[in-house]
Homo-oligomer: A and B are copies of this chain.
Amino acid sequence: MKLTFLGTSAAAPTLRRNVSGVALQFDQRREWWLFECGEGTQHQVQKTDLSLAPLRRVFISHLHGDHCFGLMGLLASRGLNGGTEPIDLYGPPGIADYVNAIRKTTGTRLPYPFEIHEITEDGQCFEDDDHRVFAARVMHAGPTLAFVVHEKDRAGRFKIEEAQALGIRPGPIYAKLKSGDLVTLDDGRVIDGSTLVDPPRNGRKLVIVCDTKDASALLPFSHGADVAIHEATYATADADLAKQNAHSTAADAGRFALLAGAKQLIMTHFSPRYDQRGEGLLTIADLVAEAEKELGEGRVVAAKDFLRFEIKSIKREPGA
Contacts and interface: CB of A to CB of B under 8 A. Distances in A.
Nearest to A15: B46
Interface string A173-191: 0000000000000000000
Interface string A9-40: 00111110010000000000000000000111
Nearest to A107: B142
Contact of A39 (B64, B70, B101, B107): B70
A73 interface: yes
A42 B18 CA distance: 11
A102 B105 CA distance: 10
A84 interface: no
**How many copies of this chain are found per oligomer?**
2
A15 B11 CA distance: 24
Given A98-B102, A98-B105, A106-B65, A77 B13 contact: yes
A163 interface: no
B65 A12 contact: no
B12 A80 contact: yes
Choose among A40, A42, A94 the residue with the greatest number of B CB atoms under 10 Å from its CB.
Answer: A40
B73 A69 contact: yes
A277 interface: no
A291 interface: no
Contact of A18 (B14, B43, B104): B43
B76 A65 contact: yes
Interface string A38-76: 111011001100000000000000011110111011001
Contacts of A142: 107
A107 B12 contact: no
Interface string A83-106: 000000000001001100110111
Contacts of A46: 13-15
A107 to B, nearest CB: 6
Nearest to A75: B65
Interface string A148-181: 0000000000000000000000000000000000
Given A39-B40, A69-B73, A98-B106, 4 more contacts: A12-B77, A13-B77, A15-B46, A39-B70
